[in-house]
Structure 1
Amino acid sequence: MTDHQYQIALTLVPGVGNILIRQLISYCGSAENVFKSPMARLLKVPGIGGITARSILKHDALTEAERVSQRLEKLGARALFYTDKAFPNRLKSLYDAPVLLYSMGSADLNATRTIGLVGTRQATDYGRRITADIIEALVPYDVLIISGLAYGIDIAAHRASLANHLPTLGVMASGLDVIYPTIHQKTARDMCVQGGLLTESQPGTKPDAHLFPARNRIIAGLSDAVVVVEAAAKGGALITAEYANNYHRDVFAVPGQLNQTFSAGCNKLIRENKAQIYTSPRDLIEALNWDQPPANLQAGRLSHKNQPPPLPVDVTDEESQVLALLRQATTLHIDELSWQSQIPMGRLASLLLSLEFRGFVRSMPGKKYAVQYT
């Protein structure tokens, strides 16, 4: 069996979720080693009891994983485990991130710039026009547009992206071979040429109510910012916005007319300070600092003139680690910095604040940080 087949198998063991899978990999070293570990070793893993250990050792999941792998091959799709280089870095540090994703198409899941565009399934002409305007304005910035392939704002975002030759990613609440709604099959095929499809559900999975909120968290996690174009007072778009806030992503809402059903959700987000008001594409571009390319970059390299100063001596080991990562990457989102440094978010925020006060780092729009050049 391949590494990916063992990894797929882990997700198919009854009672083993994303957190336990990470625990098992941490203790055993690899997915393959999990299935080859004796009962006594498995029982030492926190959260693994006798029933779960026996389920692992029965190896039924390995047989099913081979079938899943064959279906992926027929689809021209791939499985991405959280330890893979191509796995989305924006998801790796999230507390409820999936450990395995199924992907199809050409989309770069680690694109430099990403925007999530979501909204009601019953979009108005106004909502579709705003969606198209946003995407057209983002063309010069080579942004990956992310949405959920649903009716309304979602499909308008995907189609406008295709029309403007921007890559677009559809995050699904079903298997890659179950396009929902089916009327969007042609658009989904086009997206696989100019973007792609992504899901955490194995092939053959039908869309079910509980899968949609889970899908929404992936949209939020992959996005540098989420824009809610139109939304009722309750619904999936507001769930996506809630996840985005929890993940420290920027959230924008397009204001709408009072007493209009699909303006209520956006206006509510703005009123409750859960979203910034969207008035023009400039709001996004300035908030994410996309109009200010790093001054120290020349042809992708640090110029001699703008080389960062040596690391200061009066820093702790953790602070030194943070500074080294920032020097290497130029800028980093706080989530990515937390994942790379393995410093918990609360502790990292305190370290960054201290470094900023002392003039070693500067905070940037979009919850990103950079070394302070002098």
Structure 2
Amino acid sequence: MNEQDLFYVLALQKVELVGDIVAKKLINHIGNAQDVFKAKPSHLSSIDGVGAILIQNLKNEAVFKKAEKELKFITDNKIQTAFFQDDNYPEKLKHCIDGPVLLFTSGNINLNKRKIISIVGTRQITPQGTEFCKKLIADLGPLDPIIVSGFAYGVDIVAHQAAIENNLQTIGVVAHGLNQIYPSAHKKYVAKMEENGGFMTEFWSSSNPDKENFVRRNRIVAGMSEATIVIESADKGGSLITANMANDYNRDVFAVPGRITDKYSQGCNTLIKIQKANLLTSAADLIYMLNWDIEEKPKAIQKQLFVSLDNDEQKIYDFLQKNGKELLDIIAIQCDFPIFKISRILLNMELKGVVRPLPGKLFEAI
């Protein structure tokens, strides 16, 4: 994204009543952020969710002064940006309707991999939780995943450190601008973090680590990853919010079980009990469920002769034949079906013997 385009995206973010969903809708409909400000009211009013007050707000020139100030901070500090339409934007986050329109990053982040997992949990991590987290990441090391967390106390910083110790890329998603570090006690980890990955945020340099920002931050953690792992959690906490968001995004969620009397196992045990998380006891569980260790295709199941497919089934079958095994949500997006409908169609196709399900919500044509 060039500097001019970035300027207008920043300005659009400061228009009252324009959040991420509306901003992306405006840009997708009009073409770019600059043209949104130039668009005729009659054109804007034809867009769903855009009313007269929002159109009037687009005329407020104060947003350009704010954008100019933030752009100077970005250029002076060599902050990198990821626009939701760009290739360097997290691929899975593109499929989240409420994903940020713009991300700011620092360090050496490279997302050209599919293996991205988030590890979250209590800030009061126990010795058992620390040991499990370190062993899990070490055992996953040969698969070279990117480890995402929130750079907070407890599980977060243990996960980041374990990733660095195993030469894995790690990303700290923070709830404030990149002009500061929170908690300040973690400043000592910044250099290693940026050498082995870096930091990511949607917040401007004017944003402080306010309580509500952490909930917004959690949707990035959940949305950009293939799976979210809860190491330890009490019966309430931010990690449970992240797990629920991951479920809403149709991502895999894993939780480490513990004794029912342990305070920081209660949240994990509940997630497993209400079937909002898969039970995780080792790296092998994760590898199997995410289909990371399948090198050979299972023996083909004999397909029914002269099987009859309707138009929807044929569309999906042709897509899988061309692209190989693919995630459920990707099939839905590429074939233009809602998730609830694609699940029913795939089940019918499985019964007809033309597709097979694989671990990790993958499907392939037979």
What's the TM-score once normalised by structure 1's chain length? 0.88
* Distance in structure 2 (CA, Å) of the matches to 1:340 and 1:84: 18
Residue of structure 2 equivalent to 1:371? 365
* 1:266 maps to which of 265, 268, 271: 268
Structure 2 counterpart of 1:195, which letter? G
Is the 8 Å Cα contact of residues 362 and 370 (structure 1) preserved in structure 2?
yes
- AA aligned opposite 2:344: S
Structure 2: segments with no counterpart, 5+ residues: 301-305
Amino acid at match of 2:354: F
Task: Tell me the SS of whatever aligns to 2:253.
Answer: strand
Match for 1:140 among 139, 142, 152? 142
Of the candidates 250, 253, 274, which is equivalent to residue 251 of structure 1?
253
Alpha-carbon separation, structure 2, partners of 1:53 and 1:189: 44
Which residues of 2 match residues 25-104 of structure 1 at below 5 A? 25-104=27-106
C-alpha separation between the residues in 2 aligned to 1:328 and 1:191? 39
Q: Deviations over 1:297-320 (max 9, x none)?
A: xxxxxxxxx9xxxxx996556545
Aligned counterpart in structure 2 of residue 202 of structure 1, from 179, 188, 204: 204
2:223 alignment partner, SS class: helix
Instruction: Tell me the amino acid that sits aligned with residue 281 of structure 2.
Output: T
Letter matched to residue 357 of structure 2? S
2:307–2:352: 8 Å Cα contact kept in structure 1? no
Residue among 328, 333, 347 paired with 1:334 = 328
Deviation string, structure 1 residues 204-252 (Cα, Å, up to 9, x no partner)? 3111111111111211112222111111110011111111122222221
Q: CA deviation at 1:329?
A: 4.0
CA distance in 2, matches of 1:29, 1:101: 19
1:314–1:224 Cα change, 3 Å = same
Q: Which residue of 2 aligns with 1:350?
A: 344
Which amino acid is the alignment partner of residue 19 of structure 2?
A: G
Percent of residue pairs identical:
39
Q: Distance in 2 between matches of 1:175 and 1:336?
A: 32
CA distance in 2, matches of 1:62, 1:315: 55
| C-alpha distance in structure 1 between counterparts of 2:257 and 2:15, whole Å | 45
Distance 2:32 2:195 in 1: 33
1:170 corresponds to 2:172: yes
* Secondary structure at the counterpart of residue 211 of structure 2: coil
1:228 equivalent to 2:222? Answer no
The answer to whether the Cα contact below 8 Å between 1:89 and 1:336 also exists between their aligned partners in 2 is no
Aligned-CA RMSD value: 2.4
- Matches of 1:342 and 1:216, distance apart in 2: 28
- What TM-score, normalized by structure 2, do the two folds share? 0.90
Give the aligned residue type for 2:277. A
CA distance in 2 between counterparts of 1:46 and 1:111 reads: 35
Query: For residues 341 and 210 of structure 1, what CA distance do their matches in structure 2 show?
Result: 36
2:184 is matched with which residue? 182
Which deviates the most, 106-115 or 334-343? 334-343
Tell me which amino acid in the other structure corresponds to 2:176. Answer: S
Show the counterpart of 2:303: none
**CA shift in 2, pair 1:50/1:105, >3 Å:** same
Distance in 1, Cα, partners of 2:327 & 2:126: 34
For this pair of structures, how many residues does the alignment match? 359
Q: Distance between the aligned counterparts of 1:262 and 1:26, measured in 2?
A: 44
Tell me which residue corresponds to 1:309: none
Question: Deviations for 1:316-357, whole angstroms, at most 9, x for unmatched residues?
Answer: 565455445434543322223333344322222233333333
Q: Which moved more, 1:121-130 or 1:148-157?
A: 121-130
Shift of 1:371: 2.7
Aligned equivalent of 1:10, options 3, 9, 12: 12
Give deviations 1:276-307, integer Å, cap 9, x for gaps.
Answer: 221111111111111113659xxxxxxxxx9x
Distance 1:105 1:355, change over 3 A: farther
2-structure distance, mates of 1:58, 1:151: 41
Check 1:262–1:75 CA distance in 2 against 1; reply closer, same or farther (3 A cut).
Answer: same
Taking the aligned partners of 1:153 and 1:371, their CA distance within structure 2 comes to 40
CA separation of 1:95 and 1:107: change in aligned 2, threshold 3 A: same
Letter in 2 for 1:101: L
Unmatched segments (≥5 aa) in structure 1: 297-305, 307-311
Q: Is the 8 A contact 1:35 1:59 kept in 2?
A: no
Letter in 1 for 2:57: S
Tell me if the contact between 2:182 and 2:209 (Cα under 8 Å) persists in the aligned partners. Answer: yes
Q: How far apart are the structure 1 equivalents of 2:21 and 2:307?
A: 38
